[in-house]
Chain A
Amino acid sequence: MAQPGKPLIEVVDLEKDYPTGAGVLQALRGVSLSIAAGEFVAIMGASGSGKSTFMNLLGCLDRPTRGSYHLDGQDVSRLSSDQLAALRNREIGFVFQGFNLLPKLTALDNVALPLVYAGVGRQARRQQAQAMLDRVGLGDRSHHTPLQLSGGQQQRVAIARALASRPRLIFADEPTGNLDSETSRQVMGLFSQLNREEGITLVLVTHEADIAAYARRRICFQDGRVVEDVAQSEGAT
């Protein structure tokens, strides 16, 4: 658990440059904010606003050009790629727009995959993965492959995978982008429930206002800067 008084995520003057053919693209131009444990944050912004870059940095998939990022008090910008991998494995879960399940593996094996890299034994892996599938309401679909599941079911399998190593932090990048409104509601309901009941910190990237309305804090990006950071009452649950 996070140390009392300290935020789970704290970024100061975060900048990220990408070299391009025409010079340097400044994707982030000095972002400072903190997120406490247990928050449910929606990050909004138009495409090219820097929100995805910000997510990749927070998710330890990338390192900032300048500025600092402390995750649970630890300076992430100084970690090796192996240490980042370990953080992603144990502290962070990812949910993507395109689900990103491995098509040849069953739902159970997909969910168990993070545990493989955590060095968990085969038997324990299967038990924990099954428990997570039960948790997202797909306990009876564990031996289906992704292609045999609907989009909403695939996204729930992906959520179960994000939960598998019991992280404190889940990043969801447009998680409802490929879903219809009914399944979007189910998936968002599941996220709200995980946040409320298990205290999992949720950071959600979206460009849809009704999806962002599920969160209790909204951060808007524009041209690599935060232009709005407001608390909001939980909208549609």
Chain B
Amino acid sequence: MIFTSLFETAWHALATHRLRSFLTMLGMVIGVAAVILMLAIGQGAQAMVRSAIESMGSNLFIIMSGATTTGGARVAIGSAPTLTFDDADAIRDLQDIVAASPVSPGSAQLIYGGVNWSTSVFGTTPDYAIVRDWPMESGGFFSEADVRSGARVAVIGQVVARELFGDEDPIGKVIRIRQAPFEVIGVLAAKGQSLDGRDQDDLVIVPISSAQQKIFSGSLRNRARFIMAQAVSEKSMDAAESAINELLRNRHRIGVGQEDDFTVRNLTAIAEAAASTTRIMSLLLGAIAAISLVVGGIGIMNIMLVSVTERTREIGIRMAIGARRRDVLWQFLIEALTLSLIGCGMGVVLGIGGATLVESFAGLPIAVTPASLLMAVGVSFLIGVFFGFYPARRAAGLDPIEALRSQ
């Protein structure tokens, strides 16, 4: 039997029961749409996390002042940071560490001309740009000499540049940070959202000495709220972590059995955990969607069984005039396949439409990839074959004489 006439026959049979065919397909439509939508949302979330991780910098440690227990940070509000600039220098001198920078964070109002903007202020050292792998868009970062002399220079993020300066070139302009004048010497390249959803470009970075003298006047000199450090490579992360622990316990004279007054966190590991969480989430969503595909397949099998019973006489006639068993098998298999593939096509359209809606209304980034489309089509094909085979075999196994006699 010729293949095109098989599809013709299948189309004909399905077209005579339009409503029934459509309802049968609905399971596949919803299943495929759900798979595509869920994969799109999942992959969108993954892409978001990935870019956040990339923007964070690699092989990163954050060493925080104060101890933590499982309950969280035990640093009392107002208590003095325990980490010193010298701690940061010592960490930087460790074998497995590339760079380390003490950070004194806070927030302040910036004023330029008649415009003001409240933002985060980070007092730190030039190592910060290395640790965070943060290139400049224009101008340059401040130097060690600037830190030593307490120079009033500032590097600003993209958001600050836009809000304060608009189209103007910020380089060389003087802004006031909590009334103290600072000269803008550089604009950082855009980083986007961090893992916890903050806009990383909304900040201003100044030498840590200047920050403590001019902006956070109440803060203890030479103390940092936290230190960020970068390990040489991913492999050296573990060695670096214990080296930092040992170093700081020595420097802070913490005896055996005493509680640390600092906390070392492997940021890269935390980020990777977040990434694998979103990966598992998207897998889970896909699996739930796949269940509706299977349900759709069972619907197809059910209707095909009904169809075979209804058309027993037709099968008998076809066999009498020369249809081989395999012709009958193919006829019903192709019918089931046509059902599932048309359902798949409608599901793809619905899924892409839904994904576009989610993107525009919920503001979630989504990604309908060719791979997910291919998977949807492939799975529908398999479902059509799998759930179409049993009814088709039943049709092909009919006895022609019995089938001809049926009403």
Q: Which residues of A contact B (CB under 8 A)?
A: 56, 59, 61-62, 81-82, 85-86, 88-90, 94, 96, 100-102, 104-105, 113-114, 116-119, 121-122, 161, 165
| CB neighbors of A among B324-352 (8 A) | 324-327
B322 in contact with A117 (CB, 8 Å): yes
B318 within 8 Å of A (CB atoms): yes
* A101–B12 CA distance with the chains assembled, in angstroms: 16
Point out the residues of chain A lying under 8 angstroms from B4, CB to CB: 122
Q: What are 21 contact pairs spanning A and B, CB under 8 A?
A: A61-B404, A62-B400, A81-B324, A81-B325, A82-B324, A85-B325, A86-B324, A88-B320, A88-B322, A89-B322, A89-B323, A100-B320, A102-B317, A113-B321, A116-B1, A116-B2, A117-B318, A117-B321, A121-B2, A122-B4, A165-B322
Q: Which residues of B contact A (CB under 8 A)?
A: 1-2, 4-5, 12-13, 16, 313-314, 316-327, 400-401, 404
* CB < 8 Å neighbour of B324 from A62, A85, A100: A85
A100 in contact with B322 (CB, 8 Å): no
Nearest chain B CB to A103 CB, angstrom units: 9
Point out the residues of chain B lying under 8 angstroms from A81, CB to CB: 324-325
Whether A114 touches B16, Cβ cut-off 8 Å, given contacts A61-B401, A122-B5, is no
Nearest chain B CB to A10 CB, angstrom units: 22
Point out the residues of chain A lying under 8 angstroms from B320, CB to CB: 59, 61, 88, 94, 100
Nearest chain A CB to B29 CB, angstrom units: 25
Nearest chain B CB to A110 CB, angstrom units: 9
A119 in contact with B324 (CB, 8 Å): no
* A89–B322 CA distance with the chains assembled, in angstroms: 4
* A86–B401 CA distance with the chains assembled, in angstroms: 16
* A96–B320 CA distance with the chains assembled, in angstroms: 11
Whether A116 touches B314, Cβ cut-off 8 Å, given contacts A81-B325, A82-B324, is no
* A182–B249 CA distance with the chains assembled, in angstroms: 115
* A101–B314 CA distance with the chains assembled, in angstroms: 8
* A88–B316 CA distance with the chains assembled, in angstroms: 12
Nearest chain A CB to B319 CB, angstrom units: 7
Whether A96 touches B2, Cβ cut-off 8 Å, given contacts A82-B324, A104-B12, A117-B322, is no
Whether A90 touches B326, Cβ cut-off 8 Å, given contacts A100-B404, A102-B314, is no
A117 in contact with B327 (CB, 8 Å): yes
Whether A100 touches B327, Cβ cut-off 8 Å, given contacts A85-B322, A86-B322, A89-B322, is no
Whether A56 touches B401, Cβ cut-off 8 Å, given contacts A88-B322, A102-B314, is yes
Point out the residues of chain A lying under 8 angstroms from B2, CB to CB: 116, 119, 121-122
* A61–B316 CA distance with the chains assembled, in angstroms: 10
* A88–B400 CA distance with the chains assembled, in angstroms: 12
* A112–B115 CA distance with the chains assembled, in angstroms: 85
B1 in contact with A119 (CB, 8 Å): yes
Point out the residues of chain A lying under 8 angstroms from B400, CB to CB: 61-62
* A100–B324 CA distance with the chains assembled, in angstroms: 18
B322 in contact with A90 (CB, 8 Å): yes
* A104–B12 CA distance with the chains assembled, in angstroms: 8
* A85–B318 CA distance with the chains assembled, in angstroms: 10
Point out the residues of chain A lying under 8 angstroms from B325, CB to CB: 81-82, 85
Closest 3 CB pairs of A and B: A89-B322, A85-B324, A117-B322
Point out the residues of chain A lying under 8 angstroms from B318, CB to CB: 113, 117
A94 in contact with B321 (CB, 8 Å): yes
Point out the residues of chain B lying under 8 angstroms from A113, CB to CB: 318, 321
* A59–B313 CA distance with the chains assembled, in angstroms: 17
B321 in contact with A161 (CB, 8 Å): yes
Nearest chain B CB to A5 CB, angstrom units: 29
Give the nearest-CB partner of B396 in chain A: A81
Point out the residues of chain A lying under 8 angstroms from B1, CB to CB: 116-117, 119
B404 in contact with A96 (CB, 8 Å): yes
A114 in contact with B317 (CB, 8 Å): no
* A85–B400 CA distance with the chains assembled, in angstroms: 10
Whether A100 touches B317, Cβ cut-off 8 Å, given contacts A82-B324, A117-B1, A122-B5, is yes
* CB < 8 Å neighbour of B321 from A105, A114, A121: A114
Give the nearest-CB partner of B2 in chain A: A119
Whether A62 touches B404, Cβ cut-off 8 Å, given contacts A86-B324, A116-B5, is no
Nearest chain B CB to A122 CB, angstrom units: 7
Give the nearest-CB partner of B324 in chain A: A85
* CB < 8 Å neighbour of B322 from A96, A104, A114: A114
* A82–B329 CA distance with the chains assembled, in angstroms: 13
Point out the residues of chain B lying under 8 angstroms from A61, CB to CB: 319-320, 400-401, 404
* A116–B16 CA distance with the chains assembled, in angstroms: 20
Most buried by A among B313, B317, B325: B317
Give the nearest-CB partner of A88 in chain B: B322
Given A94-B321, A117-B323, 19 more pairs with CB closer than 8 A: A62-B401, A82-B324, A82-B326, A85-B323, A85-B325, A85-B327, A86-B322, A88-B321, A88-B322, A89-B321, A89-B322, A100-B316, A102-B317, A104-B12, A113-B321, A116-B1, A117-B327, A118-B322, A121-B2
